[in-house]
């Protein structure tokens, strides 16, 4: 029994040494002054979203945690207020799997908040099945959504090039978050230890998100794709302007947007399950 405990202890020690040895130390980063700025962070109750919201609150921003679970959202907002001393952190309900909820959130925000300076579209899920509007949630669609993020930022930057609105597509790196709870059961015994050993912590994954959201001088790079190493060239499909425009127009049709009008369109059918 003693030898078994000793072996387990040695393995844990080796595991911890490997974990810290394979990962680089975080870069020092000056905190920008964000008092008077309002930020929305979707999926802000856990993972990268919570780490991003925490740092924005430390910088003095008013932070809206837009999440679907009220208990977790309120708890996260309370935790961030306590840790930072910033009382301008609040929860607002948003279920991104429901266009009805998205419209209700937008309507409530516009009534209650005079400004929006930062929108961090962080929330993601790969759980299988479909949303209430018929959009598919299997794993392949989650992967496809990463390309869609790059193309969406590219097209949005094109459409807003004569305004002060800027946007960036961000790859935070491989981060150990609660997203892995949706992994197949047979894969978890292998995936979870590897994630703990090799993947970034949420606070590390939030670095590039915060950099794009708050660093001065990035405006000429609006629409670009960023990693922790800075702006990168995505794969050729991620640079296809015609595909980006088609994605935008198809998305408008699927969600029922026509110009500045918000609301379901009678001619907009729900997307079929994949």
The pLDDT value recorded for residue 180 is 56
The pLDDT value recorded for residue 138 is 78
Query: Among candidates 67, 72, 60, 51, which has minimal Cα distance to 172?
Result: 51
The pLDDT value recorded for residue 173 is 74
Query: Among candidates 42, 137, 136, 128, which has minimal Cα distance to 93?
Result: 42
The pLDDT value recorded for residue 269 is 30
pLDDT values of the chain reduced to their tens digit, one per residue, 274 residues: 555 555 545 445 455 555 555 455 555 567 899 999 999 999 999 889 999 999 999 999 999 999 999 999 999 999 999 999 999 999 999 999 899 999 999 999 999 999 999 999 988 765 556 666 666 557 567 778 889 999 999 999 999 999 999 999 998 877 766 655 555 565 555 666 666 666 677 888 889 999 999 999 999 999 999 998 899 999 999 999 999 999 999 999 988 886 544 443 333 333 322 2
Domain boundaries, the chain: 32-254
Residue 190 to residue 195: CA distance in whole angstroms: 9
> CATH assignment of 32-254?
3.40.50.720
Residue 87 to residue 83: CA distance in whole angstroms: 10
pTM value is 0.76
Active site residue 15: no
The one catalytic residue in 15, 142, 168, 225 is: 142
């Amino acid at each position: 029994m003693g030898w078994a405990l000793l072996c387990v202890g040695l393995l844990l020690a080796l595991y911890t040494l490997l974990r810290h040895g394979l990962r680089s130390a975080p870069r020092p980063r000056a905190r920008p002054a964000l008092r008077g700025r309002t930020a929305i962070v979707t999926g802000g109750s856990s993972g990268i979203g919570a780490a991003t919201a925490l740092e924005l609150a430390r910088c003095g921003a008013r932070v809206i945690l837009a999440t679907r679970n009220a208990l977790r959202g309120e708890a996260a907002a309370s935790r961030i207020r306590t840790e930072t001393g910033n009382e301008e952190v609040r929860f607002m309900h948003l279920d991104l799997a429901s266009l009805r909820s998205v419209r209700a959130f937008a309507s409530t925000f516009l009534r209650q908040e005079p400004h929006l300076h930062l929108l961090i579209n962080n929330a993601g899920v790969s759980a299988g099945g479909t949303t209430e509007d018929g959009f598919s949630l299997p794993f392949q669609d989650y992967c496809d959504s990463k390309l869609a993020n790059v193309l969406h930022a590219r097209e949005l930057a094109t459409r807003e090039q004569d305004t002060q609105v800027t946007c960036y597509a961000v790859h935070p790196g491989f981060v150990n978050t609660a997203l892995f709870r949706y992994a197949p059961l047979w894969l978890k015994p292998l995936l979870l230890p590897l994630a703990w050993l090799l993947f970034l912590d949420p606070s590390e994954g939030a670095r590039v998100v915060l950099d794009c959201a708050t660093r001065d001088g990035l405006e000429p790079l609006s629409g670009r794709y960023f990693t922790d190493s800075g702006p990168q060239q995505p794969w050729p499909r991620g640079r296809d302007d015609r595909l980006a425009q088609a994605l935008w127009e198809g998305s408008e049709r699927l969600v029922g947007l026509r110009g500045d009008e918000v609301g379901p369109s009678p001619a907009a059918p729900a997307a079929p399950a994949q």
